[in-house]
Amino acid sequence: MRHYKGLVKPYVIWSFLLIALPLLLIVLYSVTTGDNSLVTIHFTLDNFKKIADPVYVSVFAKSLQIGLIATGICLVLAYPMAYFIAKCSDSVQDILILLVTIPMWINTLLRTYAWISLLADNGIVNSLLEMLGLDRVTMMYTNFSVIIGLVCDLLPFMIIPIHTSLAKMDYSLVEAAGDLGANRIQTFTKVTLKLSLPGVINGVTMVFVLSISSFVIPVLLGGHQFVLIGNLIENQFISVGDWNFGSAISVILAVAILLIMGLMNKAESDDNGGAE
Amino acid sequence: MMKKLSIGPKLYIALCFVFFYLPIAVTMFFSFNSSKSLTKFTGFSLRWYKKLLEDQEILSAVYVSISIAVIATLVATVLGTITAIGLSRSRKVLKEWILNINNIPIMNPDIVTAIGLMILFTSVTISRGYMTMLLAHIAFCTPYVITSVYPKVKRMDHNLANAAMDLGATPFQALIKVIIPMLKPGIYAGMLLSFTMSLDDFVVSYFVTGNGVSNISIVVYNMTKRTNPTINALSTLLILSVGIILVALNVIPVITKKRRSKNVEMSGSKRKIFRRCMAVAGGVAIIVVAVFCVTRFTTMSNKPVLRVYNSGEYVDTELLTRFEKENNCRVIYETFDSNESMYTKIQSGSEYDIVIPSDYMIEKLLDEDYIQEINWDLISNKEAIMPGLIGKSFDKEGRYAVPYYWGSVGILYDKTAVDKDDLKAGWELLRNPKYKGNIYMYDSERDSFMVALKALGYSMNTTDESQLRKAYEWLIEQNKTMEPVYVGDDVMDNMISGNKQMAVVYSGDAAYVISENENMEFFVPQQGSNVWTDAMVITRDCQNIELAHKYIDFFLQEDVAIQNTIYIGYDSAVKSVYEFFRDEEYADNSGCAPDISNEKNEEFKNRDKDTKAFCSNLWTKVKSN
């Protein structure tokens, strides 16, 4: 297997040019002032000091809250789904997973518009409620609409990795656990859940990151008062034109997320260390 | 071995799919709507499908989206898979470094990736368009492939590959025949993910593209102003084609298998499905690339090119086609969603010949020496322009800007719900507790501060911090007591559906809403408002000055301006056209030709950097309060 060592080389160069370099440029922007040219660079930490403003702190807190709720709901909904799918026969599994994936091929913006038609004050759901003689409910531009939009959009990102780890799981381990006297709950927690943990971690990180940084869904379903980190960054880059401050927020966000990632990776590798 | 699912799990799976497919079903359903509405079904029609097939912009966006998704997925899959295999054999330090760097695009918000790539492409001066979009897509897709494949590599039995090589296989053979088949589930997952991410991407594409290349998301985003079921028709077709491919891939092999023999093993047929998948994907990719090359060659003909950058939904595209025919040229037409985003794009190095910004932005661009003078001798229709629109404060001598459309800002209200007497309060109507929870504010820092400043009797161009602070308190107070919803261009669809009773809107948007919902009425409060002008300007680095003038002249032609105005709904800068709409076409429409004689009206001036930062900070506070 040593023969394949060299295969990694192209990506080393590629990832430096298209991943690391852009990031370094952003870091550079975050610690400089607006009037830069290549010749004169003014370093400053003001961009980071500005983030301590209570408004921005509350934006971070709200993003975190929304991200956690959306991730939690996704996990609760996705695990049984992935589990049941993994129990089907191979060909049915393929079809079900494709069915999970297809909605993602339809433009997110479009699906979000559809939610607007459904949830609006004069929308489809409210018309139905009215026909049934019930009161109308305000659903648009609330936490509810944003969470629904996010969950619907991100659920596949949770189902697919969990399903991947469950599907590759050696089913004889479950049988062995049963033969050795474990009851169904024990088998599930000690064998199935444990073996699917990498998928869960993968899914949770993906959904969490996508949800706290998304800005199109919160804007369309939550209204523009729904300022999350993603909106804040977008706003700084596009409307305000303060790229330096926008970069500073991005840097903080990236650092925070990388820290969480690091912790999760550590948890995962500790877990594997015990198993091997 | 596998147990059959009992009814509970089956029901659960079914419910989840209902949740997934509900928005899609709605999208498909309304693609057959006979009216524009996306909430009320008025009857069956295929008009949006007809429109879709005629819409060059959408068709080329479909082509861009799909070709980029296919090519990026193929490249990312190959690159990602070989990297994942190589990675498991690399030294620990290198491995961890690569994996961490690889995680960055997955972990980072799209917008950060987007901005980073944008800065990168700008600094190495690649001309932005298809290539940059493709590179960016490969850049963010590959990590997904690696994260899907790498765990498989880690868990794979390495002895098998070694055994194959001991038995005489070359490393390449061992790779293809032994390793790759073992990694198939991971590769599949990675391919699916990256195809999906690429097809659905908006943010990254939006920032790294240029020269009129746009994918479906960008087109949809620019349509927010006026959503219509054309795009629903598109997604219906997309779903159907995905369905057909699915059937082809899953049902046909099953049938042929049955016909052939019953003892073919499952794994064999799975391999066949995999091969068929690859063959189809490869075939599609080759066709797409070929078509791309051909279209490139045909469009690369010697026709002169004009690059126009305009606000979204701000021209009837049929007119662009007409202009192209009349002048035997090609128009590369790109749109922006706000003056500010246009400015960002220009700053990042995108080049255009004609830009159509608003007053204060023109002032800013003039300050930065971005605009060149108009040669009025080349504008034969100069006399048609409404007097008073040339020589506004942003261009006092009328040397740089040719007015396009103009209008005002006011309140659009539902006359069946809002009491006529309450209108006397002007902007304070927005703080009348009677209408609590029934207000849309427009999410524009400038226009919202304008509302508050005017309500307080100040100038909307004030730089006095204490006045701005009072305006801020006005807005905070309004937010607390009235619970308004802050919206963007979706305000128009919302008001057409009558979701709330009033909204702060531009006059032209009001005219459009009123033409679709007759319960609505528009007025400009007596405390004064923003009277704005959007104008065509020729950029400093314009490459075809003569053609640029022809373009400007074309849009001042009376018949062109009428057709354009029917589409846009704003007040034309061409006098005869303006009068035609005021007196005939839109005579009963209060959004058309608003009375702007009020002396308290102003137009926006370019703000200095500090005031801008101060206001945007306060505006963020208002919204997130």
pLDDT tens by residue, B554-595: 999 999 999 999 888 899 999 999 999 988 888 888 888 888
The residue to which tokens 């799981």 are assigned = A169
- Do the strands B401-414 and B571-572 form a parallel or antiparallel pair, or are they unpaired? antiparallel
Q: Do B486 and A223 touch (CB under 8 A)?
A: yes
Helix residue ranges per DSSP H, B108-169 = 110-123, 130-155, 158-166
- Exposed/middle/buried for residue A276 (C-beta within 10 Å: 0-12, 13-18, 19+): exposed
Q: B373 vs B51, B320, B398, B541, B601, CA distance in Å?
A: 39, 23, 9, 12, 28
- Mean pLDDT of all residues belonging to chain B: 84
For residue B486, what are the β-bridge partners?
B441
Residue A61 burial by Cβ neighbours in a 10 Å radius (0-12, 13-18, 19+): exposed
User: In terms of CA atoms, which chain B residue is nearest residue A257?
Assistant: B107
What is the percent of chain A with per-residue pLDDT over 70, rounded to a whole number? 93
- Binned at pLDDT 50, 70 and 90, residue B460 comes out as very high
To the nearest whole Å, the CA of B443 is away from the closest chain A CA by 6
> Which residues in B lie closer than 8 A to residue A55 (C-beta atoms)?
617, 620-621, 624
Helix ranges, B483-568 (H): 490-496, 507-516, 545-554, 558-568
B337 or B378: which leads in pLDDT: B378
Q: What is the pLDDT, as a whole number, of residue B289?
A: 61
All residues of chain A having their beta carbon less than 8 Å from the beta carbon of residue B490 are: 116, 220
Indicate the residue of B30, B87, B171 with minimum beta-carbon distance to A3. Answer: B171
Interval B315-336: pLDDT, tens: 988 899 899 999 999 888 888 8
> What are the tens digits of pLDDT across the range B106-155?
777 777 888 888 878 877 777 778 889 999 999 989 998 888 888 888 88
Separation between Cα atoms, residue B214 and residue B237, nearest integer Å: 19
pLDDT for B349 equals 73
CA distance to A230, B355, B440, B545, per residue, from B550 (Å): 42, 14, 40, 9
Interface of B with A in 194-253 (CB under 8 A): 195-196, 199-200, 202-203, 216-217, 220-221, 227, 231-232, 235, 238-239, 242, 246, 250
- Burial (Cβ within 10 Å: 0-12, 13-18, ≥19) of residue A252: middle
Q: What angle do CA B562, B565, B569 make, to 5 degrees?
A: 150
Task: Count how many residues are written for chain A.
Answer: 276
Question: How many alpha carbons lie under 13 Å from residue A177 in its C-beta half-sphere?
Answer: 16
User: For residue B265, what pLDDT is reported?
Assistant: 45
pLDDT, one tens digit per residue, over B538-562 is 999 899 999 999 999 999 999 999 9
Answer yes or no: is the ipTM higher than 0.90: no
Q: Given the structure tokens 């599907």, which residue do they identify?
A: A167
Give the tens place of pLDDT for each residue, B199-215: 888 888 887 887 778 88
Is the confidence at residue B372, as pLDDT, over 90? yes
Probe site for chain A from B38, B65, B112, B182 (most A CB atoms < 10 A):
B112
Q: In this predicted structure, what is the pLDDT of residue A109?
A: 83
Mark residue A143 as left, alpha or beta (left: phi above 0; alpha: psi -120 to 50; beta: remaining).
alpha
Residue B198: φ, ψ to 5°: -70, -45
Predicted confidence band of residue B402 (pLDDT cuts 50, 70, 90): very high
For an interface test with B, the pick among A24, A53, A225 (most B C-beta atoms closer than 10 Å) comes out as A225
Shortest Cα–Cα distance, A88 to chain B (Å)? 7
Question: B122 touching A, CB under 8 A?
Answer: no
| pLDDT for the residue numbered B264 | 43
DSSP state of A45: S
**Comparing A113-127, A164-178, B293-307, B425-439, which segment has the lowest mean pLDDT?**
B293-307
Question: What residues have CB less than 8 Å from A259, skipping those under 6 apart?
Answer: none
Answer whether A4 sits within 8 Å of B220, measured CB to CB.
no
Q: Under a CB-based contact definition with an 8 Å cutoff, are residues A18 and B117 in contact?
A: yes
Place of tokens 């009428």: B562
Instruction: Measure the CA–CA gap between B190 and B182, rounded to whole angstroms.
Output: 14
A238–B340 CB contact, under 8 Å: yes
**What is the average per-residue pLDDT within B369-382?**
93
More confident residue, B108 or B504: B504
* Residue B341 structure tokens: 């985003």
- pLDDT for B63 equals 85
Alpha carbon B328 to its chain's center: 29
| C-beta separation of B596 from A211 below 8 A | no
Of the candidates B110, B143, B623, the beta carbon closest to that of A224 is on B623
Is B167 at the interface with chain A, CB within 8 A?
no
- Tell me whether residues B38 and A171 touch, CB distance under 8 A: no
pLDDT of residue B292: 60
A-proximal residues of B, 265-304, CB under 8 Å: 266, 270, 273
Give the DSSP letter of residue B406.
E
Three-state DSSP state, A168: coil
Measure CB to CB from residue B9 to each of A15, A59, A84 and give the nearest one.
Answer: A84
The pTM of the whole model exceeds 0.95: no
Distance, in Å, from the CA atom of B537 to the CA atom of B343, rounded to the nearest integer, reads 14
Residues near B142 by Cβ (< 8 Å), separated by ≥ 6?
A11, A14, B75, B76, B79, B80, B83, B102, B194
Yes or no, beta carbons of B479 and A225 under 8 Å apart: yes
Beta-bridge partner residues of A55: none
Closest residue by Cα to residue A102 from B137, B218, B200, B133: B200
Contact B624 A206 (CB under 8 A): no
The 10s digit of each residue's pLDDT in B52-73 is 887 777 888 888 888 899 899 9
Q: What residues contact residue B255 under an 8 Å CB cut-off, 6+ apart? A: none
Residue B473 has pLDDT above 70, yes or no: yes
- Distance separating alpha carbons of residues B402 and B262, to the nearest angstrom: 76
CA distance A189 to chain B (A): 19
Are the beta carbons of B408 and B532 closer than 8 angstroms? yes
Cβ atoms of residues B130 and B213 within 8 Å: yes
> Quick check: B24 pLDDT over 80?
yes
Length of chain B: 625
Percent of chain B surpassing pLDDT 70 = 90
Buried b (16+ CB within 10 A) or exposed e, B252-278: ebeeeeeeeeeeeeeeebeeebeeeee
* Residue of A74, A76, A75, A84 lying closest to A192 (CA atoms): A84
Q: Is the pLDDT of residue B261 over 80?
A: no
For A169, the closest chain B residue by CA position comes to B155
For residue B613, list chain A residues with Cβ-Cβ distance below 8 A.
240, 242
**B270-325 confidence digits (pLDDT tens):** 555 556 666 666 666 666 666 665 555 455 557 888 999 998 778 988 899 899 99
Among A256-260, B272-276, B437-441, which stretch is predicted with the lowest mean pLDDT? Answer: B272-276
Q: Which residue has the higher pLDDT, A7 or B540?
A: B540
Stretch B250-277: mean pLDDT: 56
**pLDDT-based confidence at residue B266 (cuts at 50, 70, 90):** very low
Which residue from B1, B30, B108 is facing A171, i.e. has the nearest CB?
B1
Q: What is the pLDDT of residue A274?
A: 42
Set of chain B residues whose Cβ sits within 8 Å of the Cβ of A88: 2, 5
Q: Which residues of chain A neighbour B502 with C-beta distances below 8 Å?
A: none
| Exposed/middle/buried for residue B83 (C-beta within 10 Å: 0-12, 13-18, 19+) | buried
End-to-end CA distance of chain A: 21
DSSP state of A135: P
Residues in chain A within 8 Å Cβ distance of B250: 91, 94-95, 98
Over 90: is that where the pLDDT of A147 sits?
Answer: yes
Q: Report how far apart, in Å, the C-alpha atoms of A34 and of each of A240, A242, B152, B610, B613 are.
A: 12, 7, 46, 12, 12
Rounded to a whole number of angstroms, the distance from the CA of A63 to the nearest CA of chain B is 11
